[in-house]
Structure 1
């Protein structure tokens, strides 16, 4: 999972004057990232698309990710663990999707857990037990992902963890902890949950890997590779041989790379915490005015999602996600679990046509606050994250357009206004629920609304990976999978 990230830009019209051509510093990866962040949003998108194309000759998505994020990918020889795993190497260009290794017969899967250093022992974490969920919460709160400057750290609530780890089909055996043998203290964790994922045209039962965390004082013990091998062994015992996961670092080899964008809801607090900064010639009063939202939503028929909407939302979501090259395939039970509102965790809304009573659209967002580290005024940053959504598309008109590029353009034009209005309502609802910032990756159709709704590019990137599956590279706007 990527770090919380920060906002690089509060004012989309803010431009810096470049130094004279003869005095420009060398264009290092870091310098490139800084200059790219100061470019207008439309220029950034075009440059990123070009970089992804150029990167095909230099390690594909990994090369593009490295240029975009200012981090160079390691060579495969430096990846002591990953070079032993069935993953795509940095220099491999995938032309045909498919498994890297064949499925293993059950009687050939290792039957016993991988060995740990003698002072540690394996432990299942009972997420339904209040004492154990508190232990997990404390481990993640103090040791999980931070931003690069150690200013923010994800602060998963117990209720959030239950929502994230107990979806339909969850397996207790996939909530894997490591404890100190002498005092039983929980010091490491990794989890998996089952999910049907479509990659291009193939739907596979996969496991989503998340919450890999090792106590800071034990990072030298090389526990992470053992955790990964152990969760892999346990998923193999269930007949699942592919996995999907995300990371803020470049590993072999991203199938896609997305960037975080941030929309300020409480500008004063964001500046005070260091999440944002006041641009030159910008006052706090003006910044607050620029980011002000209406008091009420504007979409007729917008209401909280209910149990009776599950079937309609499942159909709408699967139809909408067919446009993307990687996306979950949701059954009704999945929709019921992930998208109906849970207090303090996730908010789900539908649009019901006042006359036909048809569910025409839906959107959702979830809460993932961050601890603000060593700040004298604020201890928590309340962040909402864009989750799944769908709007109706002009399918009849689009079916008559043969040229793919023209059809894509017509689709974007056909949904842009509706999607922008809906996401503006999402911002209003998030502000009403006391969120300070609304975050969204530049996946799905998010690029259609981020500029108009005053989202700014952040410094966080999220790389998407597949385990034991070769996948043709996927551009960010073709990613339809949102991982917590």
Structure 2
């Protein structure tokens, strides 16, 4: 799939395996392809609907309510099934989720590719700081206890333009392939919604490859070949017409060592500095998460478990000036004589001082309890804390005075582009050294500033972002640089002083 449009422009046919990978990626975040029945379901939910007037107020669609006004019992299931809360602290139950996702979560139409989420990966994602066990929802067969469906909610503080709120990130919606006709997916969504509402959370963010009511941002997958010979051997790429195999492989050659002075692996002691840099960098976007230092430690600091993320910093004169990370999500390659795994690295969060005209000013805000902690101490109920930030005053001060991404000067964008190209070039070298075959990314964040120059090829997969119970004007996802993309971009008519494809994006959310 890497470089798919480039190959087609050169006249080379896209391989069947490439198309399977494209379908696999385009299905991320979705149990199955959209159907009229699914659209009928979404028309009953508090989401932006097609044709909604632009005059409708931005923000909450249905107000929060106390738990006594939330449905007390889940919707009924077919007679042979029962609801369950999956305890991921129990290794047996964690393995059940792993087995269900391995065989039934996301698979291409021809059953030749399948994502391989490891137990360590699931533990890392689903046991996010502040996680609620009740948001790990399962369906079991009554007679055997077998887990046959799952959906998860992950806590997140999300800023949408000037408004911040506590939300649930919905992920890993999965139903056993033999039970797809039971229409369990809408019931799973309603049950995790009910449980989140009982916990005082009434907004959510989720992604899907398909179009359902109504995407507020759209991003495209990009792929950078690392092991060109392997991808040719297993049919995931093809040599362009008029080019030899050797020349094709040589096109993707990388240096043997990194070039950025001061680049090193992130350590636990770097968490405060990385947290401060990342909060400042993400404050530039129209939509982005707000990470506490505790979340930065969980997501990026190394552990003794099976490795999931690779995280690096650049240190200059005792100061962290840059941060970059990626995570591992391999795919099984089925029915191949030699290779059984495609090792893929996915670009994750990054940040650099190059986005700013000057380094941050010294902190002048003493640390103190966060607004959320103060609300708890004051006795406010969970459903009254939606807009209370979990960032401490000192952490929130890191975002102070940051200008929006689309107001940055041409000189700032040029400096940012140059620095990101340097950093991501080194990421490619490091990922190759660690045995990855390809590096994937979306067109969100500032990825459009470096993707083409670093030989990331545009793929056929798109990932759309949705907000539940929150109406917002569309947010640019970095589309617009290729034919036909404008028609796919919900933010196409959103005014910006520069084309999003050249200026970056307003979407600072990266979901696994």
Question: TM-score range with shorter-chain normalisation?
Answer: 0.7 to 0.9
Partner of 1:90: 50
Partner of 1:455: 456
Q: CA deviation at 1:78?
A: 6.7
Equivalent-residue separation in structure 1 for 2:64 and 2:263 (angstroms): 46
Q: CA deviation at 1:384?
A: 0.2
Equivalent-residue separation in structure 1 for 2:284 and 2:434 (angstroms): 31
Equivalent position to 2:272, from 282, 306, 311: 311
Partner of 1:9: 4
Any conservation in 1 of the 2:116–2:329 contact (CA below 8 Å)? yes
Equivalent-residue separation in structure 2 for 1:100 and 1:197 (angstroms): 17
Distance 1:352 1:111, change over 3 A: same
- The one-character-per-residue Cα deviations of 1:73-95 (angstroms, maximum 9, x if unpaired) are 877x8712111100111222546
Partner of 2:444: 443
Equivalent-residue separation in structure 1 for 2:131 and 2:159 (angstroms): 19
SS at structure 2 position matched to 1:393 = helix
Partner of 1:58: none
TM-score by length of 2: 0.78
Partner of 1:183: 144
Partner of 2:253: 292
Equivalent-residue separation in structure 1 for 2:276 and 2:301 (angstroms): 15
SS at structure 1 position matched to 2:277 = helix
Partner of 2:433: 432
Equivalent-residue separation in structure 1 for 2:245 and 2:165 (angstroms): 50
Alignment partner of 1:478 is 2:506: yes
Listed as ranges, the gaps of 5+ residues in structure 2 are 13-18, 27-32, 360-402, 478-504
Matches within 5 A, 1:56-455: 79-92=39-52, 94=54, 96-148=57-109, 150-342=111-303, 343-353=306-316, 356-393=317-354, 395-396=356-357, 407-455=408-456
Distance 1:179 1:267, change over 3 A: same
- The one-character-per-residue Cα deviations of 1:108-136 (angstroms, maximum 9, x if unpaired) are 01122221111001112121222111111
Alignment partner of 1:464 is 2:465: yes
Equivalent-residue separation in structure 1 for 2:406 and 2:5 (angstroms): 32
Distance 1:191 1:316, change over 3 A: same
Equivalent-residue separation in structure 1 for 2:61 and 2:185 (angstroms): 22
TM-score by length of 1: 0.83
Partner of 1:43: none
Any conservation in 1 of the 2:3–2:224 contact (CA below 8 Å)? no
SS at structure 2 position matched to 1:478 = coil
- The one-character-per-residue Cα deviations of 1:195-245 (angstroms, maximum 9, x if unpaired) are 000011111100000000000000000111111000000000111100000
Equivalent-residue separation in structure 2 for 1:252 and 1:329 (angstroms): 26
Distance 1:450 1:13, change over 3 A: farther
Equivalent-residue separation in structure 1 for 2:39 and 2:5 (angstroms): 37
Equivalent-residue separation in structure 2 for 1:234 and 1:78 (angstroms): 21
Q: Tell me which stretches of 4 or more aligned residues in structure 1 moved more than 6 Å.
A: 72-75, 402-406
SS at structure 2 position matched to 1:479 = coil
Listed as ranges, the gaps of 5+ residues in structure 1 are 1-5, 18-33, 38-64, 66-71
Distance 1:431 1:164, change over 3 A: same
Equivalent-residue separation in structure 2 for 1:468 and 1:13 (angstroms): 41
Any conservation in 2 of the 1:153–1:370 contact (CA below 8 Å)? yes
Equivalent-residue separation in structure 2 for 1:271 and 1:281 (angstroms): 16
Say which is worse superposed, 405-414 or 245-254, in terms of deviation. Answer: 405-414
Any conservation in 2 of the 1:210–1:245 contact (CA below 8 Å)? yes
* Root-mean-square deviation over aligned CA pairs: 2.6
Distance 1:236 1:123, change over 3 A: same
Equivalent-residue separation in structure 2 for 1:208 and 1:147 (angstroms): 24
Alignment coverage as a number of residue pairs: 424
Equivalent-residue separation in structure 2 for 1:448 and 1:119 (angstroms): 52
Equivalent-residue separation in structure 1 for 2:129 and 2:166 (angstroms): 13
Q: CA deviation at 1:152?
A: 1.9
Any conservation in 1 of the 2:284–2:404 contact (CA below 8 Å)? no
SS at structure 2 position matched to 1:362 = strand
Distance 1:419 1:403, change over 3 A: closer
Partner of 1:55: none
Equivalent-residue separation in structure 2 for 1:146 and 1:79 (angstroms): 22
Distance 1:142 1:351, change over 3 A: same
Q: CA deviation at 1:151?
A: 3.2
